[in-house]
Structure 1
């Protein structure tokens, strides 16, 4: 009796049937259709085709792209092979092509092996090969050859492609750009839309003249959408919150409220930075501006470094082809705002520039208003453009004077500084005056002009001993810089940020350095090089002391800086008074007996000091009243009575020591202050 067949396992049978059904195709094969028989749709060959020994084929799916039929399992095999090839491309190059349309250029625009030709092109130096080689997609250039290079140019290497651009996308495992999330976390709102527009307007009225990387019209549109109950995208969420945080800090509002908006912006920071695009650059620029006003947050030095690397990776420093003129202009504004910030922060901290000027080939933005109309000399971009032009001169001055290159001869320094001075004077003479922004088109240009003069003429690594012209320019420019800050303080518009603190301190100690040069000339029986207005000079020093003390009430650590400056200024003014006495007195009026008692010398000096004060009285002490911040004052705020009662003797009735190294100490205090700034603000 034959054995009974084994009972099949129910689980395995069900799985097999399910797999068989999943591969069934409900299209009758060609063989069954011709015979007009019912097809059982078995996969991959139906029963009729198996019995007849013919290949089971079906009509091609979709539109009739071919006349011949295809095997029933060909579509599945092709799909498997496509997925396999897409996975290989993703692993080898980091490029995801699943969602790309067929025929989309990925690398080389048709020649997948073009980038392997680079070594041979460099070896042969063939210009024709270089010009015929296509550029990598997404590199930001239409060709790897240098744009605008003449065919007859004899420049070495001009015929070679940019190897870094060619290999960049091939050697990096770059994350593709993907759509940001459509929802955002919590949204903080001010009391009303009107209040939000007023607070945001403070940001654009101040920062847009220097860093115009945001569109005011676009931002206000997003603002109205948010206050109407809309849910912003992550990049808009981030931009809205941090702009409001900056504006609140600028208006001396509650710092806790500004911190709340800042922390809300950080909830979408990672989403705003997930792609290499313009919204990511804007998010980092906003973060850098926030760190200028706040005592907390990341290091502005690190933020700007990351932003510059992102901008260079995107090719913002070079001419590119954009989808629209608006996108092109906003990209230019973002890059040049970043350039402005980099030059300012680097020079303040005494650190290298983030990008060299010779590596920048993109043009400056055009003078276009928010409505798209171009108005040279009278647009919203006229003042920012003038600032950008100055920063380019500023950058060359900084690189020439503040570097470790061999020290040039005094003659070369004099000639070079004279050329820079002519450029600065020409820039100031050509600066446009806009009636709608008098503050920024007159006094603001003056302030930028004098700060650049100060950078150029003060002691530096390559010009440690400036000449008479430098001393005079330093002293006069420092007074003007301090006067600009004092005017803003008097009307309650001074920005209590570390950049203001640094510029104020630099100007103050430069005046002291100039006065020390005068004292040195007196010691050597020479005419003092700087002849300032006595009252204006003293009031400038007093203003620095007062403002440093006010900074100390708002920023930790500045009290030590104020004490150092007060000590330096006291020493300098003591030297001035002493040498002025020596010049006024005749030799016989001050007998030099070796056995004269010290107390008698002290009495004699006090009498001579009283006579000197009667002949040339100092400024009388004036009461000081602190202006209410935010409330304009009708008259100038009086200064505190400091330095006008400088004594030539201390509490022990002894003469103060005349320090011959005071000028050197003042020079090195620049570097000391830069380190202090970095420690105060974690820069």
Structure 2
């Protein structure tokens, strides 16, 4: 491994053809017959060895381990690792004649390989001459991937240095309808970056064309929508800095590549959030990809921010790379530069922006992993970086009254959420039931304490309170639903699951009523899950009644029925926007009909038995409500659109009086079909 690192440093900045892993075993082909077989480097006795130690190790006269981008000595000292450029002493070093001839022959052979594989003739060009002809200085780095795949040079410039490695090409009409064809998978980008890395260098000072809206006022309005929604959840961008760059762009300024990328991706996300024409959002998204390679040029914080912006876009759009793969790439990049560790920074501003980027990534990782039922990207035990500070834009600290108040509370809950997920959703042996009861009780106290202590943000009073409630109930659902280590929840879990599901559905319906529901796969997943959880709780009631036991869950009848109907309506609305969801809506309607039919039949049977054998009915338990904060909260305005109507009785019993009987195993299959839904959804949305 040391030898390969040394070879990489010796050839740093040069073209590598390591991707050609196999040569023809027969040396007779004509295209190789005129060149001798490559020979090993000359022995130390025949040539002078060029030192490849970094500047810091050379000055200290210490051995350098050549780690990239920083060697171990530079990492410990906290300095940037640099290497000296070739100097006169290198240029004047004597080279044996046979070695020089061998190198010349190898260069001719490589030129022939490039010409045959890519159609690119470089033999007559001077070293350093641009070879792409399309204005993309990074096109040359596509050649190794082209040679490895046997592809040809693209006719037009691609938006990424890895684009030519993708076998999918589409025109404008295809890109607007197909899924995941606008960009190569982000894994391809990082594959080429890892195989053909270059030393950290300054990014260009200017960027390509800028996509503008009709006016600065419209751009500021869209940017405000982004920071007033996504900015509270994922604050990896500085609002004052972004707005300053925005005004610079609209007054004729030329942005840097990272500014160009962030501006266009924010506009694209905001257009999607606002349910605007997706074509306009796609234009901004495509413009952002023109500078994505330059934004990912170095392993640093701007590269992390660029990928976080890409992840948010792919969370809202069906096109683009997979958010799961993007998050994996960001997590590896963030940990490689140490964002997860507590370490000194040059300034408070730099430290806080690094923290905001990491905790935004942490929040996204926990959300996506738990929704898809996949492993977490980083263990909490490996994180030592501190939480966010509640700093205003002017740098003053304002606990409970800062733009970072909401993100800080979200991170605190996600830390609890993460421990719940790791405890219940792992392959470890099942703990004793009593241990589960005690542990869930501890988690419940932590979640309740978090809700009571979470301060409202005056500038976003309704947003903060409603968002806190939504996070509170989704966390309870994660904790109480059947899980690998707690497959048979108790009565408390059934009650908590049912009441929490109703609150989650209410939250989505309220957003739908005012036209602010985000039609994304996360919403679809959680809405469907809340609906089938209610059906599962109702089946637990039916099972208890069959066993002559009191029903564990006693929801308010009309509220429960309206909740089910709301899920059906929202799933049908999803079906109008996302092909394939209409089938899911029909399936859910059928399942609801079956369970409500059984409930009607059992209620009829109980009423008949009550006339002959009156039984004591226990009082219903109180409805699950979030802990009330110490300060009074303003009541949210009533939704302008009423809730969906009560389920029609015709759905339950037809005129013949025939009661459709439910399969005894249907409830368990229904509830655990969520795993199937996760896989189905991930496949459709290329997650």
| TM-score using structure 1 length | 0.70
1:178-217 map, 5 Å? 178-217=201-240
Given that residues 593 and 652 in structure 2 are in contact (C-alpha distance below 8 angstroms), is that contact kept between their aligned partners in structure 1?
A: no
After superposition, the C-alpha distances for 1:240-289 in whole angstroms (9 at most, x for unaligned) are 11100000011111110001110111111111101001110001000000
| Kept after mapping to 2: 8 A contact 1:556/1:680 | no
Q: Is the 8 A contact 1:402 1:462 kept in 2?
A: yes
More displaced stretch, 207-216 vs 664-673: 664-673
Q: Does 1:136 align with 2:73?
A: yes
Do residues 669 (structure 1) and 650 (structure 2) align?
no
Show the 5 A alignment for 1:249-260. Answer: 249-260=272-283
Report the secondary structure of 2:73's partner residue.
coil
Give the 3-state SS of the residue equivalent to 1:432 in structure 2: coil
Give the whole-Å Cα distance in 2 for the aligned partners of 1:104 and 1:366: 37
Instruction: Verify the 8 A CA contact 1:498 1:677 in the aligned structure 2.
Output: yes
Deviation sequence 1:506-530 (CA, Å, 0-9, x none): 1111111100000001111110000
Cα distance, 1:180 vs. partner? 1.2
CA shift for structure 1 position 571: 1.1
2:651 is aligned, of 641, 646, 649, to: 646
CA–CA separation in structure 2 for the residues paired with 1:533 and 1:111: 78
More displaced 10-residue stretch of structure 1: 443-452 or 552-561: 552-561
1:664 and 1:395 map into 2 onto residues whose CA distance is 26
Q: Corresponding residue for 1:561? A: 584
Q: Does 1:361 align with 2:366?
A: no
Query: In the alignment, which residue of structure 1 is the partner of 2:125?
Result: none
Q: Label 1:172 to 1:243 Cα distance change in 2 as closer, same or farther (>3 A).
A: closer
Deviations 1:112-162 (A, max 9, x none): 23769xxxxxxxxxxxxxxxxx953146969xxxxxxxxxxxxxxxxxxxx
Is 1:532 aligned to 2:563, yes or no? no
Given that 1:273 and 1:283 are in contact with CA atoms closer than 8 Å, whether structure 2 keeps it comes out as: yes
Cα distance change of structure 1 residues 658 and 113 upon mapping to structure 2, 3 Å threshold: same
Shift of 1:107: 4.4
Residue equivalent to 2:63? 113
Q: 1:231–1:138: structure 2 CA closer, same or farther, 3 Å change rule? A: farther
Change (3 A) 1:511 1:93: farther
- Look up the SS of the partner of 1:673 in the other structure: helix
Counterparts of 1:209-288 in structure 2 under 5 Å? 209-288=232-311
| Counterpart residue number, 2:564 | 541
Superposition deviation, residue 494 in structure 1:
1.1
- The residue number in structure 2 matching 1:319 is 342
The correspondence of residues 301-380 of structure 1 with structure 2, limited to 5 A, is 301-380=324-403
Q: Secondary structure of 1:332's match?
A: helix
Matches within 5 A, 1:153-192: 175-192=198-215
Alignment of 1:589-604 (within 5 A): none
Match of 1:418 in 2: 441
Shift of 1:92: 4.2
1:658 counterpart residue number: 662
Aligned-partner Cα distance in 2 for 1:421–1:209: 25
Cα distance 1:291–1:230, how it changes in 2: closer, same or farther (>3 A)? same
Higher Cα Rg: structure 1 or 2?
1
Residue 442 of structure 1 corresponds to 465
SS, match of residue 291 in structure 1 = helix
1:175 Cα deviation after fit? 2.9
Give the deviation of 1:500 after TM superposition: 1.1
Which residues of 2 match residues 612-623 of structure 1 at below 5 A?
Answer: none
Q: Name the CA distance, whole Å, in 2 between partners of 1:140 and 1:94.
A: 26
- Is 2:496 aligned against 1:473? yes
Residues 598 and 659 in structure 2, CA contact (< 8 A), matched pair in contact too: no
SS at structure 2 position matched to 1:645? helix
Paired with 2:678 and 2:57, the residues of 1 have a C-alpha distance of 47
Between the aligned partners of 1:633 and 1:654, the Cα distance in structure 2 is 40
- How many equivalent residue pairs? 504
Unaligned runs of 5+ in 1: 1-87, 97-101, 117-133, 143-170, 590-631
Contact map agreement 1:141 1:320 (CA 8 A) in 2: no
Deviation at 1:554, TM superposition (A): 1.0
Looking at structure 2, the residues matched to 234 and 175 of structure 1 have their Cα atoms a distance apart, in angstroms, of 18
CA contact (8 A) 1:318 1:362 kept: yes
Measured in 1, the distance between the counterparts of 2:679 and 2:217 equals 43
> Are the counterparts in 2 of residues 141 and 321 from structure 1 also a CA contact under 8 Å?
no
Structure 2 residue aligned with 1:293, among 316, 322, 331?
316
Q: What is the aligned-residue RMSD (CA, Å)? A: 2.6
In 1: Cα distance, 2:195 partner to 2:588 partner: 51
- Deviation per CA, 1:638-680, whole angstroms, max 9, x where unpaired? 41454543333598x7541221112211232110110121022
The answer (yes or no) to whether the contact 1:546–1:640 under 8 Å persists in 2 is no
| Distance (Å, rounded) in 2 between the aligned partners of 1:509 and 1:256 | 34
Q: TM-score when scaled to structure 2?
A: 0.70
SS of the equivalent of 2:413 reads helix
**Native 8 Å contact 1:94 1:174 kept in 2:** no
Alignment map for 1:574-593 (pairs within 5 Å) = 574-586=597-609
* 8 Å Cα contact 2:372-2:682 kept in structure 1: yes
Q: Say whether 1:635 aligns with 2:640.
A: yes
The answer on 1:430 being equivalent to 2:453 is yes
Q: 1:91 to 1:583 in 2, by over 3 A?
A: closer
Q: Which protein, 1 or 2, shows the higher relative CO under an 8 Å CA cutoff with sep ≥ 6? A: 2
Secondary structure of 1:585's counterpart equals helix
